[in-house]
């Protein structure tokens, strides 16, 4: 069983995640914030991997702080020279450091093991070409694909309304009791069952 620890950051209204396997204590971190060392005692956890749901700088500013402890993984859709250069330059403006190495090994249907739990990678482009969600029974880490209050922007480099629409349609096929854990909260709610946000998502599909 996995415990989901949500880490809220005021900057960017970012929601990051530390997933902890109850039996082994093994951990997986998703989209670490810039001040992750102040939020989590990295010396006291067994960090097996770090996953970036996509490479926009707000989701990667903590990569440098954890890169010596675990590999950083992302989808190869984020690998294009233009997007990597743009995102790296923006990240350097905030951190004044070169971004660490990222392994682009997460593809649609690939899995990440945390203890005895298998997390499935869902490639959900639209907000960015390599946006991903992580799904395991009862839970979806949705990055910037869908939020409790809306969906990810598509009016930025690499964005696509058509691809986001297709990604939302696939998410709606998941069990309705799936808990959605988004990459940002722009309101007062930080997670919700898929059934509760389904009406909003179906409305979005009509306007994309």
Band of pLDDT at residue 86, cut at 50, 70 and 90: low
Q: What is the domain range of residue 142?
A: 2-207
Q: Is residue 174 pLDDT above 90, yes or no?
A: yes
Band of pLDDT at residue 96, cut at 50, 70 and 90: low
Range from 25-39, 70-84, 104-118, 159-173 carrying the lowest mean pLDDT: 70-84
Q: Is residue 83 pLDDT above 70, yes or no?
A: no
Residue 70: Cβ within 10 Å count: 18
Alpha helical stretches, state H, 71-129: 81-95
pTM score: 0.92
Region 7-14 average pLDDT: 90
Residue 199: Cβ within 10 Å count: 9
SS3 44: helix
pLDDT of residue 88: 65
Band of pLDDT at residue 186, cut at 50, 70 and 90: confident
Q: What's 63's domain CATH number?
A: 3.60.15.10
Region 157-179 average pLDDT: 97
Closest CA to 193 of 27, 81, 106, 201: 201
Band of pLDDT at residue 170, cut at 50, 70 and 90: very high
Total domain count for the chain?
1
């Amino acid at each position: 069983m996995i415990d989901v620890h949500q880490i809220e950051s005021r900057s960017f209204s970012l929601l990051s995640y530390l997933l902890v396997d109850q039996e082994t204590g093994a951990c997986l971190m998703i989209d670490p914030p810039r001040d992750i060392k102040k939020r989590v005692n990295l010396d006291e956890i067994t960090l097996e991997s770090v996953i970036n749901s996509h490479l926009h700088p707000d989701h990667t500013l903590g990569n440098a702080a954890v890169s010596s402890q675990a590999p950083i993984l992302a989808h190869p859709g984020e690998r294009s020279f233009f997007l990597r250069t743009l995102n790296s330059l923006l990240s350097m403006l905030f951190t004044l450091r070169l971004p660490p190495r990222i392994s682009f090994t997460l593809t649609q249907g690939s899995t990440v093991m945390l203890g005895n739990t298998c997390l499935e990678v869902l490639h959900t482009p639209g907000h960015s070409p390599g946006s991903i969600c992580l799904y395991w029974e009862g839970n979806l880490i949705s990055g910037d694909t869908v939020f409790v209050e809306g969906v990810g922007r598509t009016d930025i480099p690499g964005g696509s309304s058509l691809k986001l629409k297709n990604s939302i349609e696939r998410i709606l096929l998941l069990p309705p009791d799936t808990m959605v854990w988004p990459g940002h909260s722009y309101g007062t709610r930080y997670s919700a069952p898929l059934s509760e946000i389904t009406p909003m998502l179906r409305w979005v599909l009509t306007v994309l």
